Amino acid sequence: MSSDDDRRLSRRTTIDLRLHLLDRQIHDRDGVPLGVVDDVEIDMPDDGPPRVSALLTGRALFYRLIGGGPHVSELDRIPFDRVRDIDVRVAIDDKQDDLELAWPERWCRDHIVARIPGSGQR
């Protein structure tokens, strides 16, 4: 894990959540896309200013395909201290395999796509 001094986001004094975070793609440390930032979780401490504690991401495209939308309890939480860089995309320190963010895609690949002739999955 890199120190705060190594993180590009630490050089910013102010982050506009709507401009710099919401709807940005999230990539793991290998550059694999994991989803988008759907919302943020904010802590409101009694003794200080509000702080972003986590990025919330759901499977927005997955829900658009099957209808409806995710309930807040179904959103995946990425602790903000795992964020390595905020730029055109949001990079995190974790690998995709270490997270449970891609389980719907894996499930579709294993249970639906794998059954399609010519998919190369069997």
Question: pLDDT band for position 4 (50/70/90)?
Answer: very low
Residue 31 backbone zone (phi > 0: left; psi -120 to 50: alpha; other: beta) = left
Helix H or strand E encompassing 104: helix 103-111
SS3 label, residue 19: helix
Which residues, including other chains, have CB under 8 Å from residue 76's CB and lie 6 or more apart? 35, 56, 57, 58, 99, 100, 101
Question: How do residues 70-89 score in pLDDT, each as one tens digit?
Answer: 666 667 889 999 999 999 99
Give, as one character, the DSSP assignment of residue 100: S
What sign for the dihedral angle of Cα 81, 28, 57, 101? negative
Measured CA to CA, the distance from residue 49 to residue 60 in angstroms comes to: 30
CB 90 within 8 A of CB 80: no
> What are the pLDDT digits (tens) for 23-79?
999 999 999 888 889 888 899 999 999 999 999 887 655 666 666 666 666 678 899
- Given CATH 2.30.30.240, say whether it is the number of domain 4-115: yes
pLDDT score for 52: 92
Per-residue pLDDT at 99 exceeds 90: no
Domain ranges of the chain: 4-115
Is the pLDDT at 114 greater than 60? The verdict is yes
Say which residues have a Cβ less than 8 Å from residue 55's Cβ, sequence separation at least 6: 21, 26, 37, 39, 40, 41, 77, 78, 80, 83, 90
Can you give the pLDDT at residue 1?
41
